[in-house]
Amino acid sequence: MKFLSFAFAAGLAASILTTPAAAADITGAGATFPFPVYAKWAEAYKKETGNGLNYQSIGSGGGIKQIQAKTVDFGATDAPLKGADLDKHGLLQFPTVMGGVVPVVNIAGVGPGQLKLTGEILADIFQGKIAKWSDARIAKLNEGVKLPDAPITPVYRSDASGTTNVFTTYLSQVSEAWKADLGANAAVNWPVGQGGKGNEGVAATVKQVPNAIGYVEYAYAKQNNIPYVLLQNKAGKFPVPSDKSFQAAAANADWNAAPGFGISLTDQAGDEAWPITAPTFILVHKAPAKPEQTAEVLKFFAWAYKNGDKLASDLDYVPLPDNVVAMIESAWAKEIKDPSGQPVYKQ
């Protein structure tokens, strides 16, 4: 199974969902951000254990709704839920991998990493305040790069999206105007541009529309050969997006700083830190209606933590540190119980 195009990825999502589930198969839905790595893990896990994963890549908002409605065994979200929401719905939240969100462009003659932007300029582009690639502020940062005197078409997520939450959290940190006018959320009132559904949809739209700029999880940019933009980080540097720069952003993370490990890794200090880095999260019920299915979910992710690091790294996701995995598995054992009060997961 190779992830060479957004069309293939979208088709695979459909095939995973519609394949008849065996007794031990698990169902999940949500974030498109981690879809490539979950699919890779699912392929390897099925070969090793015979158990399948039926995952629907529908966006974080859909994943949250489906786990709250108890129509799937787990939900997936890039925008972590707050402690109050977790408590209200009886959910446990934990991260799986970290990755980066990157701006991507379709400008004739401009390849990966050839265009540089600051966070403030990026915010002004998506607010419509900078409307052409020939704008003086862009030209000053990109001497020697031939940019057209053409209108910019921003491309954004049309669905409720954790990727959008991460992206707009970053824009709110680097632009006071963005923070005041639009803020950070899974969906915002985009003033300009056009929408695409899922990371797949944004990638497809950027590839189809000349002079477009969008934002996607890095694996989608890399696997679909869409040129990424270099962003100036908090230290004033322009690191290349990679597992190394995503790891640098997480180097000093305090995973206990928020309930459900729901921390932000955007706009972190460090010369090598990629400025739009984020963990992605899984949601399961603490008192599941089908404890045997939740047990299978936890077995799958325990397997992934132990055996899936190389598969994740190959797609430029960053595996979690061992100490964080230990904290997660401890939380599973302590907090997820069957109707008799016994732990669903046994370490």
- Mean of pLDDT over the chain: 92
Q: Report the pLDDT value the prediction gives residue 13, as an integer from 0 to 100.
A: 43
pLDDT tens digits along 25-51:
999 999 999 999 999 999 999 999 999
The total of other beta-carbon atoms located within 10 Å of residue 197's CB is 17
Q: Which amino acid is at 326?
A: A
- Domain boundaries 6-100+278-335, corresponding CATH code: 3.40.190.10
Phi-psi region of 83 (alpha: psi -120 to 50; beta: other; left: phi over 0): alpha
Q: Report the pLDDT value the prediction gives residue 346, as an integer from 0 to 100.
A: 84
Same fold, 6-100+278-335 and 106-252: yes
Dist. CA 147–CA 302, nearest whole Å: 48
pLDDT tens digits along 140-149:
999 999 999 9
Give which of 4, 5, 203 is closest to 103, Cα–Cα.
203
Q: Report the pLDDT value the prediction gives residue 252, as an integer from 0 to 100.
A: 82
Q: Which residue has the tokens 């005197």?
A: 149
pLDDT tens digits along 100-140:
999 999 999 999 999 999 999 999 999 999 999 999 999 99
pLDDT tens digits along 267-316:
999 999 999 999 999 999 999 999 999 999 999 999 999 999 999 999 98
- Domain boundaries 106-252, corresponding CATH code: 3.40.190.10
Domain boundaries, the chain: 6-100+278-335, 106-252
Give which of 276, 248, 277 is closest to 97, Cα–Cα.
277
Q: How many residues does the chain have?
A: 347
Q: Report the pLDDT value the prediction gives residue 21, as an integer from 0 to 100.
A: 45
Which tokens in the block code for residue 19? 């394949």
DSSP letters for 33-90:
TTHHHHHHHHHHHHHHHS--EEEEE--HHHHHHHHHTT-SSEEEESSPPPHHHHHHHT
